[in-house]
Amino acid sequence: MKILLTGYTDRHFGGSTGYFLKLADMKSKNFSYFLPNDFPKKIKNMKKVRVEEKSSYLFNLRLPFFTGNHFVKPFMMLNSYFSEIKVPEKIDLVHVYDKVAITNKPNIHFFDNTPFDSARIWGLSSEHKLSKCYVNYFSKRYLKVLNHPNCKKIVFFSKFARDSFVKDTGLDDSKTAVIPQPIRIEKAFAKKTNKKPIILMVGHQLRRKGADVLLKAFSEMQDEAELVIVGSPDAGISKMINESNNVKLFEAVSDKKLVELYKKADIFCLPSRGEGSPLSILEAMNYSLPVISTNICGIPEEVIDGKTGYLVDVNDVKKLKDRLEKLVKDKALRTRIGKEGKKYLIENFSNEVVENKLTKLYKEALK
């Protein structure tokens, strides 16, 4: 089977770029992936194919004032997801990620999270007038595309995203499925003992990922551990980091360096305010790290509280500090939880598990 991958792509590791890299890493014998020409050069191991793609905007606000406006941005982002794609004859099926598209070949749409959860993505209350406005408006657009005869299935990374999407749009849930991101399982390695336990956080948007909450929790235990943060801080978080002890910031790292940081760390922490299904959590589990994160969105499907890590409420500095101290002080507990996380990862997110699910899905779509 020849599968065309297309969708919204970003330039940082994670999100759609990370997802496409994970698909390429499967190296399946059952299907081959192809890419449009405009995809990031970072995505390797795939052949390129020219695809004609035309965006079908309903409106497009191009004034500089609007491009960064907190209230208009959701409309602009969601509108940009709608496309019409003319697919070459040699392609059998189209795998669309993180946007919707009408294609001249059978397609399957994949979503990390629901596009309508404004409280989670843009910080607006679900009762805000703008929230209700774009949910009502865009749900009709989504349904028009997803109910098209060529759309065979709508797939989500988590049950949470699937249930939220069905609730927002009224989509027939019999047309949906849940298939997580694939992870190539890393071999066991000899871990060196650090003088102080290292807490690692990885996230592109550090404010949304809760770096400020982590820094507050860590401020009372700076002598007990070290904190390493990978990501892009705003001015406020940069100030907090500069005023802290035993905190290191890496704004940009290579894939090789990121692996080194995962291997050296003892604990992974991601106290996010908004997420889909974080790839960084799965990566941390791949290196047998106990994970502390928040009890929101798709995270509880990745982290089993008390078994593969701990879950806390959003902005709960006190409980986050308590869980961090518990792991910092107990090496045996860190090891046990890390092993449970690796086992859970292998059973639910490994390349082999996901490839089998995708193969079955693709074959059903082409019947």
Domain ranges of the chain: 2-182+350-365, 198-349
| Sequence-distant contacts of 359-363: CB under 8 A, at least 24 apart | 359/28, 359/30, 359/31, 361/108, 361/153, 361/155, 361/177, 361/179, 362/1, 362/3, 362/30, 362/31, 362/93, 362/108, 363/1
pLDDT bin (cut points 50, 70, 90) of residue 62 is very low
C-alpha dihedral sign at 256, 34, 153, 57: positive
Give the pLDDT mean for 161-172: 85
User: What pLDDT, on a 0 to 100 scale, did the predictor assign at position 44?
Assistant: 57
Stronger pLDDT, 50 or 366, i.e. the higher one: 366
Q: Grade residue 60 by pLDDT with cuts at 50, 70 and 90.
A: very low
CATH, domain 2-182+350-365, list 3.90.350, 3.40.50, 2.120.10, 1.20.1260: 3.40.50
pLDDT at 61 over 50: no
pLDDT at 124: 52
Choose from 101-115, 162-176, 204-218 the range with maximum mean pLDDT: 204-218
pLDDT at 230 over 50: yes
How many Cβ atoms from other residues are within 10 Å of residue 171's Cβ?
18
Contact 27, 45 (CB under 8 A): yes
Provide the pLDDT confidence category of residue 17 given band limits of 50, 70 and 90. confident
CA 277 to chain centroid:
5
User: Could you give the CA distance from residue 65 to residue 134 in angstroms, rounded to a whole number?
Assistant: 20
Does residue 318 register a pLDDT over 70?
yes
Closest CA to 10 of 237, 328, 279: 279
Fold observed for domain 198-349: Rossmann fold (3.40.50)
Rounded distance between C-alpha atoms, residue 353 and residue 355, angstroms: 6
Residue 8 above 90 pLDDT?
no
341, 291 contact by CB (below 8 A): yes
Tell me, what's the pLDDT at 70?
45
Q: Mind giving me the DSSP string for 131-192?
A: HHHHHHHHHHHHHHHHTSTTEEEEEESSHHHHHHHHHHH---GGGEEE----BPPPPP--PP
pLDDT given for residue 131 in this prediction = 63
Q: Phi, psi at residue 149, to the nearest 5°? A: -55, -30
CATH topology identical between 2-182+350-365 and 198-349: yes
Residue 265 pLDDT > 90, yes or no?
yes
C-alpha pair distances (Å), 36 with each of 30, 59, 151: 21, 25, 19
pLDDT: is 147 or 353 the higher one?
A: 353
At residue 54, the pLDDT reads 65
Q: Is the dihedral of CA 254, 257, 262, 265 positive or negative?
A: negative
Residue 26 has a pLDDT of: 86
Query: 280: Cβ–Cβ under 8 A, 6 or more apart, which residues?
Result: 14, 202, 203, 268, 270
- Contact (Cβ atoms closer than 8 angstroms) between residue 314 and residue 271: yes
| pLDDT greater than 50 at residue 63 | no
User: Which of the residue ranges 117-131, 160-174, 179-193 would you say has the lowest mean pLDDT?
Assistant: 117-131
Indicate the average pLDDT of the chain.
84
Distance CA 267, CA 200 (A): 6
The pair of structure tokens assigned to 230 is: 């990978």
**Which residues, listed in sequence order, are joined to residue 7 by a DSSP beta bridge?**
97
State the pLDDT at residue 55.
Answer: 56
Task: Output the pLDDT for position 164.
Answer: 84
pLDDT at 151 over 90: yes
Kindly tell me if the per-residue pLDDT of 41 is higher than 90.
Answer: no
Residue 69 has pLDDT above 50, yes or no: no
What pLDDT is stored for residue 186 in this prediction?
Answer: 94
Mean pLDDT of 108-128: 64
- DSSP letters spanning 19-51: HHHHHHHH--SS-EEEE-TTS-TT--S-EE---
Judged by average pLDDT, the poorest of 15-19, 216-220, 252-256 is: 15-19
| Percentage with pLDDT > 90 across the chain | 52
Given a cut of 90, whether residue 84 has pLDDT beyond it is no
Closest CA to 334 of 214, 234, 178, 191: 191
AA letter at 82: F
- Please tell me the distance from the alpha carbon of residue 107 to that of residue 98, in angstroms, as a whole number: 13
For the segment 226-247, the average pLDDT, to the nearest whole number, is 94
Closest CA to 278 of 162, 178, 158: 158
